Structure 1
Amino acid sequence: MTTDQPTDRPTDRPSPDAPSGTDDGALAHGTGRWDVFRGGLGSTTAGILLVITAVAFEGMGVGTAMPEVMADIGTLETYAWPFVAFLASSVLATVLGGRWADARGPSGPLVAGVTTFAAGLVAAGTAAALPQLLVGRALQGLGAGALTVAIFVLVARVYPPQLRPAVFGWTATAWVLPSLLGPPAAAYVTETWSWHWVFLGIAPIAVVALVMMARVLRRAGSGAPHDQGDRERRSTRRLVLAAPGAAVGVAALSWAGERPGTAVLPVVLVAFAVLVPSLLQLVPRGTLLARRGVASTVLARGLLAGGFFATNSFLPLMLNRLHGWTLTEAGAVLIAGSLGWSAASTWQGGRPHIPRHRLLWIAFGLLACGILLVVPVTLGWVHPGLAFPAQAVAGFGMGLGMPAVSLLVMTHSGPGEVGFNTAAAQILDGLGTALLIGVGGALTAVLGLRSGLTALYLGLVVMLVVGSSVAPRSALPAPAADR
C-alpha cells in the first residue's frame, strides 16, 4: 500500500486496552458474524446482548405502559417526570461510569450498573406512589448509563479487533429488536396482568446476563488500575462538576421539547447556559469544530441520532393528523426503520475489511435520502405509504452508521480513553435528539403541523448533507509502514 490516504480497517491497529490474549487464540483470526459466539467469548457475547436487550426492552416497554402507570399513581401534569428522571440520571452515570471504567476497568461499573438497573426495576415495579416510581426510574437511569459505557470498554479489552464489527452488529440488533417486540409485549402484559410486571419481568434478565459475564469480568478487572497523574485527577474533578450540568441541561431540553411554545423559552435559555460549558468538558477537544479523528467521530454520532430520532418522533403524528391513519397504522411505519437498521447491522458485521469511515459517509447519505422521501408525504403530494420505504432507507443508514461510529471511537481511543470517548458519543446522541425534537416542536407550534414538519425535515436533510463531511475526517491514520 503506497497511498497516503487514511484507512480505518479494524485490523490496522489493536486497541490499547486489549488484553494480552483472548480466551481462544483461534478467534484472533476470525472475522465472521458467528465467531463472537465461539470459544471462551460465547458466554460473554450472550451476556452483553442480554444486558442490552433488557435495557432496550425497558425503554420501549415503559413508553407503552406509562399512560396506564400515570393513570394509576400519577397525573397528566407529572407525566414527563419519570422520563426526565431516567434521562438526567443516565447522563450523569454515563459520564462518571466512563471515567470509572477508564481508570479501574469495566468490571466495577458494569456490575454496579446492572445491579442498580435491576434495583430500579424492582423499585418501580413495586411502586404504589409516584415518589417511589421516580426513585426507581432514577436508579434505572444510573444503571443503564453506567453499564452501557462499561460494555464498550469491555469489548475493547476482551475482543480482538477483527471481531469488533461483528460484536457491534449484534449489539445494534439487540437494540433494534425490542423496538419491534417491546411495545406489543408491554401492552399485553399491562392489559393481562399489570403494568408492575413490565418492570419486574425485566429484572431477572439483567441478573442472568451478569452471571454469564462473571468469568470474563474477573479477567477484565484483574489488571492493575490505570494510574492517574495530576492532570488526569484534575480532569476527573472537572468531569464530576460538568456531569450534573449536562444531566440538567439535557433533561431540561427534553422537557421543553414536549411542551412547544414560547412559555418554555426561559427554560431553554437556562438549559443552554448550563449545558454548553458543561458539554465542552465532556467531549473530546475540537468536537464542535469537527476536528479530525475521534472528535469528528463523536460529532457524527450526535448528527445521525438527532436526525433519525427527531424524524421518528413526529412521523406517527404526521400520518395520524394529516393523513387520517390510526395510531397503530402510523406506529407500524417505525417497524420498517427497525428492520432496515437490523439488516444493515447484520450486513456490516460480517465485513470488517470495509473502512468504517466509508460506511459512515454512506450512512449520512442514506439517512438524508430517507428523510427527504418523507417530505412529499408531509406535503400530501404522494401516497403516505411511501413512508414505509423511506423509513427502511433511513434505518439502513443507521444500521451502517452507528456500529461504524462505535468501532471508530474505540479504535481512535488511547489508553484510558475508551470510556470517556464512548460517554461523549452517547451524550451527543441524547443531546442531538433532544435539541432537534425541541426545534421540531417549536416549528410546528409557530408554522403549523404541515409547514413546521416540512421545514424540520428539509432542515435535517441539509444538516446531514453538510454533516457528511465529518465522515472522511473520522478515518484512522494509515499505519506508518504503509505510508
Structure 2
Amino acid sequence: MTGVRLAVGIVALEFAAAVTGFVASTLLPVVAADLDAKDSLGLLIAGSTLGLFVALPLASRVLARLGPRGTLAAGMTAYLGGLLLAAVSRSAWMFALGQFTAGLASGLLAVFGISSAIRHLDDSLRIRVVAASSAMWIVPALVGPAATLGLEHLVGWRWTLLLPVPFVLFGRLLVVRATRGDPSPDDPPRPLLKTLSIPLGATCVVFSMGFWPLALAGAAITVVGMIAILPAGTARLRPGTPAALGAMVLFAIGYFGADSLITVLLTTGFGVSLGQAAIVLSAAPLGWAVTSLVATRFTSALFPFVGLSLTALGTAVLALGGSFTLALVAWTVAGIGVGLAYPGLYIRATTADSSGFTAAELATAVITAECVGQLLGRAVGGALSTSVTGLFASYSLFAMALAAAAIAARRSR
C-alpha cells in the first residue's frame, strides 16, 4: 500500500511539474520583454535549477536540524515567498532570485519522497509510474499554453506566474502523507563542496555575459563536479548502468536546454507569433507523453538509441531555421523520440547490474544526472542566446548532445 501511495504522489508531482513548465516557457518571451532581459535569458531560465542543485547537499542536513515538520514548513514558506518575489520583480536579477528561492525550496521538499520513494518501487511498478507520469503531460500540453496566454491577457504575467501553486502544494502534500511514517533516511549526506561546485560552475556560465573564458571555466567546473558525485564509470560511459546515467545527463542537456528556449527561438529566430510558438511548445511534451504510453507496453533494446536519434534530428532541424510548419513537425518528432527512449533508458539507469550499485545510489544518481543536465543545458543555452545567431548555435549544441546521448544509450544495453 505504501508503494502505491508513493506512486500516486510522484505522479501528482509530475502533473504539477508539467503545469509549472508550460507556464514558465509560455511566459518567457513576455517576461524577458517586460523586464528588458532579452540579453540575460540565462538569469530567467536557470534560477530555479540552480536553487534545486544548491538544495541537494543541504536537504538531509536541514532535515536533521529541523525535523520533518520544520523542514516542510520552511520549504513551503520559501517556495511561496520565492514565487511571489519573482511575480513582483522589476528586474531580471530580482526575478532570478525569486526563481532561485523557489527552486531551493523544491530541493528541500524533495527529501520527503522523490529519491526515497523510487527506492521502494519494484520494477513493474516503476515502469507504470513512468508511463503514468508521462500521461500527466497530456492535458497540460493540450490546454496549458493556451490557458496561460489567455490568463496572461486577462491578469498579466505576474499573476499568471502563480498558477502552478495549488498543483505543487497538492502534489507535495500527497507525497508527505505517503512517507510520513517512514524512518528518516540514513544515507550519508551528499559531499557539500563537490555538489556545490556544480551550481557554482553553472553560475559562472550564466553570469559570463559573453565573456568566453569565464563561460568555459564555469562549464569545466560543472563537469568536474558532476564526475565527482556521479557513480564511477559514468563519465567514461562504461557499458551498463554507468552508460545509461551518462546518457541521462546528455539527454537532459540537449532536450531540456532546447525546451527552455523554444518559445524565444520561435518568436525571435523564426518570427512567428507567441500563439504559434505556444502550439509548438506543446508538440514535444504531447508526443513524449503519448509515445511513452505505447512504448511501455513493448520492450526493445533499440528504443533508447532510436528515440534519442529522432530527438537529435528534430532539434538539429530547429537549428537551421525555417517556417512555423517545419518547427511544429521537427519538435513533434523530437518529442516522439523522447517518448520512445525515456522509459527504457530510465529503467536501465535505475536497475542495479554487475557494477554493484545499490538501489539507493541509483535512485539518487538518476535524479542527479537529470538535474546536472538540465542545469548545464539551460545555463549554456542562456549564455549563448544573447543574439539570434547565438540562439541557433545553442540548438546545434543541443542536437550534438542528444546525438551523443543516443551513442551512450547503445552502450547501456
Q: In 2, are the aligned partners of 1:177 and 1:342 still within 8 Å (CA)?
A: no
- State the match for 1:409 in structure 2: 349
**One-letter identity of the residue aligned with 1:469:** I
Whole-angstrom CA distance in 1 between matches of 2:212 and 2:150: 39
In structure 2, C-alpha distance between the alignment counterparts of 1:373 and 1:299, rounded to whole Å: 24
Shift of 1:307: 2.8
Aligned runs of 1:440-459 on 2, under 5 Å?
Answer: 441=385, 445=389, 453=393, 457=396
Aligned counterparts of 2:100 and 2:264: Cα–Cα separation in 1: 29
**Could you tell me which of 264, 271, 284 is aligned with 2:211?**
264
Is 1:296 the counterpart of 2:248? The answer is no
Q: 1:225 & 1:89 partners in 2: Cα distance?
A: 22
Moved more, 208-217 or 436-445: 436-445
Give the residue type in structure 2 aligned to 1:85: G
Shift of 1:268: 0.5
What is the aligned partner in structure 2 of residue 92 from structure 1?
54
Q: Which runs of structure 2 are paired with 1:159-308 in the superposition (5 Å)?
A: 159-175=121-137, 177-219=139-181, 221-222=182-183, 225-226=185-186, 228=188, 236=190, 239-256=191-208, 263-308=210-255
Alpha-carbon shift at residue 152 of structure 1 (Å): 3.9
Q: Deviations over 1:33-52 (max 9, x none)?
A: xxxxxxx82x5444333323
Provide the rounded CA distance (Å) in 2 between the counterparts of 1:100 and 1:363.
39
Classify 1:102/1:420 alpha carbon distance in 2 versus 1 (closer, same or farther; 3 Å): farther
* One-letter amino acid of the structure 1 residue matched with residue 349 of structure 2: V
Distance, in Å, in 1 between the alignment partners of 2:400 and 2:71 is 39
Tell me: CA distance 1:280–1:347, structure 2 relative to 1, closer, same or farther (3 Å). Answer: same
SS state at 1:226 partner: coil
Q: 1:41-60 to 2 correspondence within 5 Å? A: 41=4, 44-60=6-22
Residue in 1 that maps onto 2:328: 388
Cα deviations by residue, 1:157-199 (Å, 9 ceiling, x for unpaired): 4433212111012223335654554333333333323544334
Q: Which amino acid aligns with 2:186?
A: H
Distance 2:153 2:369 in 1: 37
Residue 407 of structure 2 corresponds to: 469
Is contact 2:252-2:373 (8 Å) kept? yes
Report SS of the residue matched to 2:351: helix
Instruction: Give the residue type in structure 2 aligned to 1:212.
Output: L
Letter in 2 for 1:394: A
State the secondary structure of the residue aligned to 1:288: coil
In structure 1, distance between residues paired with 2:380 and 2:42: 18
Larger radius of gyration between Structure 1 and Structure 2: 1
User: Does the 8 Å contact 1:294/1:474 carry over to 2?
Assistant: yes
SS of residue in 1 equivalent to 2:272: coil
What amino acid is aligned across from residue 308 of structure 2 in structure 1? Answer: F
**Alignment CA distance shift 1:240-1:158 (3 Å):** same
Asked if 1:366 corresponds to 2:310, the answer is yes
User: 1:340 deviation in Å?
Assistant: 0.9
Judging changes above 3 Å, is the alpha-carbon distance between structure 1 residues 194 and 120 closer, same or farther for their aligned structure 2 residues?
same
Mark the CA change 1:299 to 1:120 in structure 2 (over 3 Å): closer, same or farther: farther
Superposed displacement of residue 396, structure 1: 1.0
Displacement of 1:290 in angstroms is: 0.6
User: In structure 2, do the counterparts of structure 1 residues 180 and 432 end up closer, same or farther at CA, with 3 Å as the change threshold?
Assistant: farther
Aligned-pair identity in percent equals 23
Question: Equivalent residue of 1:138, what SS?
Answer: helix
| Structure 1: gaps of 5 or more residues | 1-21, 24-39, 476-483
Relative to 1, partners in 2 of residues 1:394 and 1:112: Cα closer, same or farther, differing over 3 Å?
A: farther
Q: Distance in 2 between matches of 1:197 and 1:331?
A: 19
| Count of residue pairs the alignment pairs up | 406
Task: Tell me the SS of whatever aligns to 1:368.
Answer: helix
Q: Is the partner of 1:52 in helix, strand or coil?
A: helix
Decide whether the 8 Å contact of 1:300 with 1:470 is kept in 2. Answer: yes
Q: Say if 1:64 and 1:315 are closer, same or farther in 2 by CA, change over 3 A.
A: closer
- Cα pair 2:50 2:199 within 8 Å, conserved: yes
Query: How far apart are the structure 1 equivalents of 2:6 and 2:196?
Result: 32
CA distance in 2, matches of 1:372, 1:414: 37
CA–CA distance in 1 between the matches of 2:45 and 2:382? 15
Would you say the 8 A contact 2:288–2:335 is kept in 1? yes
CA contact (8 A) 1:121 1:199 kept: no
Shift in Å, 1:395: 0.5
Q: Is the 8 A contact 1:246 1:278 kept in 2?
A: yes
Work out the CA distance in 1 between the residues paired with 2:158 and 2:309: 42
More displaced, 108-117 or 360-369?
Answer: 108-117
> d(CA) in 2 for partners of 1:305 and 1:193?
33
1:345 maps onto 2:292 in alignment: yes
**Match among 322, 329, 338 for residue 398 of structure 1:** 338
> Unmatched 5+ residue regions in structure 2?
none
Q: Is the 8 A contact 1:103 1:416 kept in 2?
A: no
Residue pair 2:247, 2:409 contacting (<8 A) in 1 also: yes
